[in-house]
Amino acid sequence: MKNNKNGNTRKSRTIKVDYLARVEGEGGLFIKVRDNKVRDVKLRIFEPPRFFEAFLRGRHFMETPDITARICGICPIAYQLGSSYAMEDACGVKVDGPIRELRRLIYCGEWIESHVLHVFMLHAPDFLGFEDAIQMAAKYPDVVQRGLRMKKIGNDVMTLLGGREIHPINVKVGGFYKVPTRKELSGLMENLKWGLDAAKQTVELVATFPFPDFEQEYEFVAIHHPDEYGLIEGNLVSNRGIDVPISKYDDHLIEEHVEHSTALHTRVNGRESCFLGPMARYCLNYEQLTPLAKELAKAAGLGRVVNNPFKSIIVRAIETVYAFEEAIRIVESYEMPNKPAFDVEPRAGTGYGATEAPRGICYHRYTIDDNGIIQDAKIVSPTAANQKTIEKDLWNFVPQNVDLPDEKLKWQCEQAIRNYDPCISCSTHFLNLEVDRA
Amino acid sequence: MIEQSKVKLIGVGNRFRRDDGVGWQIVQALRQTHLPETEALEASGEGASLIEFMQGGDTVLLFDAVVSGATPGAIFRFEAHNERIPTRFFNYSTHAFSVAEAIEMARALGKLPARLLVYGIEGDDFDGGVSLTPAVQAAIPRVIELVMLDLKSETTATANGIT
């Protein structure tokens, strides 16, 4: 019998991935199947706890962007800006004008870097049947080269505004240490225009991928701003009625400890799991997308809401188009501010900040004293918040595909996890796969 | 004199994390002494940037600190245009796409330079700080000697592995 390598029979099997590839950080998956029924699904996160919240206590509030940036090498801006917004909220400062625009621009750089890496290097090989992007490169060199160049453009935006492409050092509470001149910024334009065109082609390409039939019901949660696609500021909203300021996050999204994970699980208060990230933003911020992004989404066959998580790759490609368009808009209209940052004086209080990391909302809450010393900190990464939804998808996905041989089932389960572009390193405050059929 | 062909230098690492900065220190030392006009990149190790920078170079020399369990200061040399880089040497990055993957990706795309020599220097201390540990510092002149031999000979025959 094909799938009894481990002494399992068709009636009872275990699918086990000890170490998930093509995700950030360390985690595994365990699935137990009895009589073709799924009995257990555990997304195991064994990345050690990182204690950032504990060692922020006693530090000065101005240090948070540089300390929290170290939580993640892929989305440092989510941590830098989330913590900056929270501190500015605590201190009663509102950042606007060109500095706010530069914040959106550096975030576009991070979205481009992260989305392009995921779409081309991590997720596309699943759809095209390759072990990794290097194998894929041999068959589709033009596609991979296009992805590499797009990613490099994201790096360039990060380097210009952040000082360097990884762990940028130029973001501070109140704004930036140094801001670019108009001329420096306009140096990005030619590549951004090339990138927009490449992003359009990417939507067209990923729309042709084969997608499993897997429509699910989700509570999508995202940041929503009436005038712009949710990115840096706005209310916490969901498709099931949440619409509150970020300061009410803890009333609506509750964190719980589960034994098999070093990352806390999130559920919606009084309800079930939540879904953060590109599909949530697309659902809740559709009206704020550009006409081009909407048109491309329609041509790619996407409805007003996308409920098949495997199609997240198309939504990520749509958001990449948006990020290039938004970057071009900002570069074209930029006027250099007189000062690179707003002055922020500490005062005792609690502040809240949330921005849309590439994977979804990244929430920060800090309490500081009159000297700006941090008394309490809470940070929730989007992957941690999505864990429960990833497990729920697998509970529903495995029964539909339980007749597949173990190797194929394992492949598709990993693909289902990668729908969320999980960043395990961040979530520990993630992957190996195990399916137990015996 | 030294090169008819175009040479490019890459120093990978974070110069504020002690021995992790050895790659960039070697690049700087080479530019001060023998190769002043050479194009150089101080790299975080991010793959897309590495691949782009390598384009147009006939000989590319990449220097990076490694952690393999060897004696600190030990020098590893790989002719990456001919052989795969053992990923265990360059696997410490938190980024899903870093030095070893970038080199293998460039190979798959047919974008490797004619010669890509990768030097790994075993590090000891990666804590915050700008000074190298003595054993790693002492490796720099030895690496430079090897590089000069590499550049004298288009088909170099220096030994691989620990020197």
Q: Is A144 on the interface with B (CB under 8 A)?
A: yes
- Is A135 a domain residue? yes
Q: Is A50 on the interface with B (CB under 8 A)?
A: no
Whether A133 and A425 have beta carbons less than 8 Å apart is answered as: no
DSSP category for residue A176: E
Q: Which of A23, A122, A166 sits opposite B44 (nearest CB)?
A: A166
Beta strands in chain B (DSSP E): 7-12, 39-43, 59-66, 75-79, 115-122
- Is A80 a domain residue? yes
pLDDT, tens digit, 9 for 90 and up, residues B9-52: 999 988 889 999 999 999 999 999 888 888 999 988 888 889 99
Cβ pair B104:A134 closer than 8 A: yes
Q: Is A241 on the interface with B (CB under 8 A)?
A: no
- Is A189 a domain residue? yes
How far apart CA B34 and CA A410 sit, in angstroms, is 54
In chain B, helix, strand, coil percent, each to 5?
A: 35, 20, 45
pLDDT, tens digit, 9 for 90 and up, residues A272-324: 899 999 999 999 999 999 999 999 999 999 999 999 999 999 999 999 999 99
Q: Is A112 on the interface with B (CB under 8 A)?
A: no
* Strand-pair partners of A30: A16, A434
Q: Is A74 on the interface with B (CB under 8 A)?
A: yes
Looking at CA atoms only, how far is residue B42 from chain A in angstroms?
Answer: 10
pLDDT surpassing 80 at residue A431: no
Q: Is A124 on the interface with B (CB under 8 A)?
A: no
Residue in chain A closest to B103 (alpha carbons) equals A134
Q: Which of B45, B49, B109 sits opposite A137 (nearest CB)?
A: B109
Is the model more confident about A15 or about A310?
A310
Question: How many domains does chain A contain in total?
Answer: 1
- Is A343 a domain residue? yes
Give chain A positions within 8 Å (CB) of B49: 152, 155, 165
Q: Which of A72, A151, A164 sits opposite B44 (nearest CB)?
A: A164
Is the model more confident about B27 or about A428?
B27
pLDDT surpassing 50 at residue A7: no
Q: Which residues contact B130 (CB under 8 A, 6 or more apart)?
A: B15, B16, B18, B21
- Is A236 a domain residue? no
CA gyration radius for chain B?
14
pLDDT, tens digit, 9 for 90 and up, residues B95-140: 556 788 889 899 999 999 999 999 999 999 999 999 999 999 999 9
Q: Which domain holds residue A204?
A: 59-211+332-351
- Is A111 a domain residue? yes
Provide the pLDDT for residue A33. 85
Lowest-pLDDT choice from A93-102, A116-125, B39-48, B50-59: B39-48
Q: Residue range A399-413: average pLDDT?
A: 85
Which H/E stretch holds residue A31?
Answer: strand A27-34
The dihedral over CA atoms of A181, A187, A192, A195, expressed in degrees to the nearest 10, equals -150
Q: Is A311 on the interface with B (CB under 8 A)?
A: no
What value does the mean pLDDT of chain B take?
85
pLDDT > 70 fraction of chain B, expressed in percent and rounded: 85
Provide the pLDDT for residue A9. 54
Q: Which residues contact A35 (CB under 8 A, 6 or more apart)?
A: A11, A12
Cβ pair A165:B52 closer than 8 A: no
- Is A180 a domain residue? yes
Q: How far is CA A70 from CA A61, A75, A80, A167, A363, in A?
A: 16, 9, 9, 7, 16
pLDDT, tens digit, 9 for 90 and up, residues A212-233: 999 999 999 999 999 999 999 9
Cβ pair A144:B44 closer than 8 A: no
Provide the pLDDT for residue A313. 97
- Which positions 403-432 of A are in contact with B (Cβ < 8 Å)? 425
Looking at CA atoms only, how far is residue A138 from chain B in angstroms?
Answer: 5
pLDDT surpassing 60 at residue B155: no
Q: Is A148 on the interface with B (CB under 8 A)?
A: yes
- Which positions 3-42 of B are in contact with A (Cβ < 8 Å)? none
Give chain B positions within 8 Å (CB) of A133: 97, 101, 105
CATH number (domain holding residue A188): 1.10.645.10
CATH number of B7-152: 3.40.50.1450
- Is A127 a domain residue? yes
Q: Which residues contact A144 (CB under 8 A, 6 or more apart)?
A: A120, A133, A136, A137, B105, B108, B109
Do strands A360-368 and A349-357 pair parallel, antiparallel, or not at all (unpaired)?
antiparallel
